[in-house]
Structures are given as structure tokens and as C-alpha cells.
Chain A
Amino acid sequence: MELDAKATRALNYFIPQMVSISKSGMVQVGILLVFILGGLYALVVQIVEGHIVTGMRDNVVWGLYIANFIFFIGISYAGALISGILHLLRVEWRHPIIRIAEIITIISTIIGPAYILLCMGRLDRLHHLALYGRIQSPIIWDVLAISTYLIGSIIFLYLASIRDLAALRDYPFKQKWRKKLYRFLAISFNGNAKQNRFLERGLTIMSAIIIPLAVLVHSVLAWIFGMTLRPGWHSTIFAPYFVVAAVFSGTGVLIIALWVFRKYYHLESYITKIHFNYLGIILMILGALYGYFTFSEYLTSWYGSETWDMEVLYKLFDPHEYWWWFFFSAILGVALPVLVILIPKFRNINSITAVSVIAVFALWVKRYLIIIPTLETPLLPLQDLRPEYIHYTPTIIEWLLTFAGVALFCFLFFLFSKFLPIVSVVKGEEGTNYAELRKKVMQRVLKRKIKEEKRKASQKLQHI
């Protein structure tokens, strides 16, 4: 495939980074592997000893694992939505960020559901889900939605990477496996007009279908809670609330990932301040929207004053229980990103990344607060029970598996960056086409204006 000078330069910049690893990189990968091994150890302990090694009991049956599940599915959502929308709108500045966003989607859609498996007591009965699953159950909807979403995201990422894969196929790599792999994946793409047309059609379809699919996936996840008659869950706004929270946290993770790769691979010329500014503004708008949903949700519950709802709210507002976490997740974690990005003086790459970190942590805490206080407030009064049956405390096993999930997320990201440039190298032709289109539109507008002015002038002359 023929490459222009810019693409060749970019390819030559990325390939050495793909085939080698620095000493500091090896240390970082080593640290990630230590966390992953810690998680594997915790997994073995949990399988051998059973769920008694977790903090989950008869009463609080969901804990850290489900919070992690919602968190990862949430961040997966932003990747799909941002890359889908930006592609559909042919936004010029999307190229450096679109692949990172898609990778976030795929990796987090793989890791998130793994936490469901960790939460299940009888994994040997997993196949019963397929054999005896009931369509009425939101859990089945979730399984269907997430698996369909994952497949869609993989297809989308693959389509968006075909041009780069073709470029890599033609690069003289020393490793044979790379040559074979890229040749297989590039499906004989050479960039001719026909192939470009088919590829663009596929990409447009996938970017259009991935957006409603992503909305549906997170809505289904929200319905698992919303359709359960429990305080703090049974809410009609839970689906849009989850969707907004998901894009909010996902955008935060995308900003963090951009910052990390910008530093790690020195991509200052590819990922510029403008990307951070635009994503920061998206984060700010989503933060405001999320804040509005949060306020609406808690105000409605508080004003209704239903006894059971109030029990949960009192726990959230009690400084001895969850107040500080609530303050961080619902107030500080929302207000700080909005204010810092809103004021131009504070808006720079590092500050946007810093508030993104805060937003992501806040949203993780929020997921924890959705699950635990509600489960600690059963409808029937609990009597003569041990404290751990009433109050949930995550154990070291759960924390190890949580950190392992985060480490695996980073590790898979690292592996992917060794397989494909983290930023799109070869651009499609739609950029030029759109520039031409804009030019044509402007010419038409100008012609119409001139015609109009001429008509007015001739009318004036006739009048005189």
C-alpha cells in the first residue's frame, strides 16, 4: 500500500516503540505482573476456600466485584460513544484519540464481566445460563447486550485499524509472526478506491450502530438495579443516570490514557493541548449533567421521605457511615472537574488530567455507594446477626482481585501498543473529501449571496 510522507513518518516513529521495550518500561510491566499474580493468588484462594474469604454474606451479596463490573462497563461505554460520534461527524481532531478510545472499550468490556464470574458462587453451573436462562431476567439481557457490544466493538476497532494493518504488512519486520499476522489481518487491503469505499461504508455502519448499542448496554445494566424494589435502586431515571455516569467516567479514563501515552511514547506532536481541551469540555458538560441527575435522584428520594428510602439516605448523610464517601463522589468529584475546566485560567493538560483522575475515582466510589448501603438496608429488620452480616467490609482477597483488574487493564493496553500503533497512522480520504465538500458548500453560499446582492442593487436602481 502506498503511504504519504506523513504516514510514513508516523509509521517509522511508532514501529521502533512497538518492537522494543525500555528498561523503565520493563520495570513498569513487572509491577503490573506482580499485581496480576497477586490477583491470581487471590482467585485460587477464593476458589479453594469459597466465598467466605470475601466480605460478602447472606445480606450484602454484592460487593467490590459488582462495583468494579459497573465501573469497567461504564468506561467501556465512553470509548464506543466518543469514537462512534466523532467518526460519524467526521471530526478532524478525532484521529489521535479514536484508537485509544476503542481499545479502552474492548479491554474494559472483557475485564468488567470477569468480575461477575468472581461474584458467582457456582461457576460450574455457568452453562446453565445458556441452557435455562429466562428472557424475562435483566441478567440475561445484560449477558446478551454485553456480548453483542463486545463483538461490535471488536469489529469496529478492526475496521478502523485495517489501513494501519495494511501499512504494517508492507513494513519489513524481522519477526516472521508479525508478517504473517499482519498479512492475515490486512485482508489484502491496498487502499484502492473500491476498498476505501467498502471500508468507509463498514465504518459508518459500525459507528452508527455502536452508539445505540452502547446506550442499551448501560441501560440494561441500570435496569438490573432499577427493576429491583430496593431503596436507592428502584428509580425510573437510573438508565439515563447510568449512561451519563458511564460517559463521564469513560471520558475521564480516556483523558488519563491520552496523558499516559503522550508521556510514555512522547506523542506531544500527535496528542496536543487541543485534544485535552475538547475532551475536557466534554467532561465538564457531562459532569454538569451527571451532577444534575445526582441532585434530582437524591432530592426526589429525600422529599418523598419513604421510611426505607430514608434509611439509606441517612446512611449516606451520616459522617460515621458513608458521608465522606458520598461527599467525594457526589459533590467534590463533580464540582471540581466542572469548575477547573470551566475557568480558562486553570485549564491546561495537567489540570484536566488531574480532575479526570478525581472524576474517575469519584465515579468508582459512586458505584460502591449504589450497591453497599442499599444492601445493608434490608426490608426485614435484622436481628441477632454478627456485625459482618450487616456491614460489608471488603477483604484483602477482594482488593487483590480489584487491583489485578486495573493492572490487567493497563497490561492489555501495553500489549496492544506493541501490536498496533496507539494512534492511527494512515488516515482515510474522507478528510480531504470533507474539505472539498465544505469548499463547494461555501462557494454555493457565496454565489447565492452575490446573486442576492445583485438583485437588491438592481431593485434599488429601478426605484431611483
Chain B
Amino acid sequence: MKYMLIISLATAITAGKGLAQKAVRKTARVQVEYFKGPDKTENLVATLIVKEKRYVPFGEAMLYFYCLNDTARILLDKIKTNDAGKAVLTVSNNPKITKDPEGKITFIVEYKGSSAVKAAQRKMAIRQGDLELSFFQKDSTKSIEVSATETGADNQRTPIAKVNILFYVQGTFSLYNFAKEKTDENGIVQVAFPVDMPGDTTGVLTIVAKIEENRTYGTIEAKGEINWGKPIQPVKEKKRGLGDTDAPLWMVYTLIVLLSAVWFHYLYVVYMMIKIKLAR
């Protein structure tokens, strides 16, 4: 009876442990961002993260991309996440995508979960916006104009009013922000061109205008190039030759002169020895 009790208790503990292990599934999260690049390509970027000690990217997991219409959700694609936990769906020209009467597109990205990770999903509704970038010069004043529009359900374009537009100059390694303005009622914003900005050798600057991480429009980017910057001549690097295959000439000559001088004297002394031998 005593042994029966012990065995029952041990079984219960083991079973309990098993249950507890089964219950511990990691929490997952899906993050979704919408990007429209300067080449008008629209992408939906979904990131799957899983809670360890902190949230970390979760790779090799299948994400399901849906578009929601009145009646049902339509599967657009299923894509595996990469090592950074990201899966990218190309939205442009996808015939399966439909808009609601207000012109919104609703996406759902779903991770169905596994034995170790819980399921997760994220819904995102966006309006398809667009930015047009142009450059103006009136007398000596140079300015940049951005026109922001959105495409409705009937494919009609209407201005986007009161939205923040950020202006950047493309540097070698990153973008440098130089202005932030809201669009007017006509969806237009004008800023002064940064004329003192150094450009390349011909003064060409790349200007980037952005609607950034907007809840309605996501991130939209427009890019344009113009030679209004200060031309900067590239710094000529003085050749030292230390890292080259061939040594600097002065070094070669110095070495030859020094070694020749020393070895000439050695040879002369050897000649003296020969003379000693001959002068016996």
C-alpha cells in the first residue's frame, strides 16, 4: 500500500511536469509595415518575433498573408521568415488585393504557431498613397515641392492634406534630414533647397521626401536628383606606397645605396685580405 502511494505520487509529479512543459509555449508577435519605394514598388514587410528573455527575431517560420474583403479573407501568399524574422510580400499589381468602399486595403498576417511557439496575427489597414517630387527655381530662390496624393476605391486621386513630409539628403552612408513640413489642403508642401549642401563633383544632390511610418499610409518615399549642391572635388589621396605591392622608390633607392656602400667596403676589405696573402 505504501509503495502504491509512492508510485502514484511519482506518476502524478511526472505527469504534472509533463503538463507544465507542454503549457510553456513562447509568445510570438507579428509586426507589419507597409513601404512604397521611389520606384513605386509597394511591399508589406512582416516581422515575426518570439519572446525569449526579450523579443528576438524568429526565422524559418511560415507567415500567411491575407487580404480582407467584405465576405472573406483571401490568401495572398505564404512566405517563410528569414534569419532576421522578416517576410516580404510584394503588393504592387497583385490582382487578389481589393479595396473597401473607403479605399482602404486591409491585410492580415498570421503565424499559425507550433508546438513551441504560440500563434500570432496582426491586422493592418492602409490607404495607397503617392509622393511626387519636383524642383523649382524662381530668381535665385531654389525650392523643392512635394505633392502627396492617395488613390481611392474608384482609382481616383485625391490630395493628402495635413500629413508630415520629411526631407532628406542622401549621404554616403545614410540620409540627412533637413526639413519637416505638413502638406496643405491641396496635398502640397514646399521647402527651400539647401543650397550650401556639398554635392558630388558636379554638385548633384539626391533629395529624398518621405511619409514615415504613418498609420494610414505606411512609409512612402520619393527620390530626385538635381545639380544644385556645391561641387566638391574628391580629396586626392597621397600615395605612400607602404600598403602597395611596390615599395616607395625613395625607400628602394635608400636601401640599395646603404647596402651597396656597406658591401662595397666589405668587398674592399676582402680584397685587402687577398693582398695580404699575396704579399707574403
Contacts and interface: CB of A to CB of B under 8 A. Distances in A.
B248 A206 contact: no
A187 B276 contact: yes
A190 B247 CA distance: 49
A135 interface: yes
Given A198-B272, A198-B275, A152 B280 contact: no
B273 A202 contact: yes
Interface of B: 241-243, 247-248, 251-252, 255, 258-259, 262-263, 265-266, 268-270, 272-273, 275-277, 279-280
A357 interface: no
A136 B247 contact: yes
Contact of B269 (A159, A188, A213): A159
Contacts of A141: 255
A458 to B, nearest CB: 53
Contacts of B247: 134-136
A159 B269 CA distance: 9
A180 interface: no
A144 B276 contact: no
Contacts of B273: 159, 187, 198, 202
A382 interface: no
Contacts of A202: 269, 272-273, 276
User: Chain A: interface secondary structure?
Assistant: helix
A207 to B, nearest CB: 11
Given A190-B280, A213-B262, A144 B255 contact: yes
Contacts of B243: 136
Interface of A: 134-136, 141, 144, 148, 151-152, 155, 159, 162, 187-190, 192, 194-195, 198-199, 201-202, 205-206, 209, 213, 216
B259 A144 contact: yes
Given A136-B242, A195-B280, A148 B262 contact: yes
Contacts of B262: 148, 152, 209, 213
B266 A151 contact: yes
A206 B241 CA distance: 35
Contacts of A199: 272, 276
A188 B276 CA distance: 8
B242 A198 contact: no
Contacts of A201: 272
21 contacts: A135-B252, A136-B248, A144-B259, A155-B269, A162-B276, A187-B273, A189-B276, A192-B279, A192-B280, A194-B275, A195-B276, A195-B279, A198-B275, A198-B276, A198-B279, A202-B273, A206-B269, A209-B262, A209-B265, A209-B266, A216-B258
A136 B251 contact: yes
A267 B187 CA distance: 106
A194 to B, nearest CB: 4
A261 B269 CA distance: 31
A205 B279 contact: no
Contacts of B277: 187-188
A73 to B, nearest CB: 17
A192 B280 CA distance: 7
Most buried by B among A194, A199, A202: A202
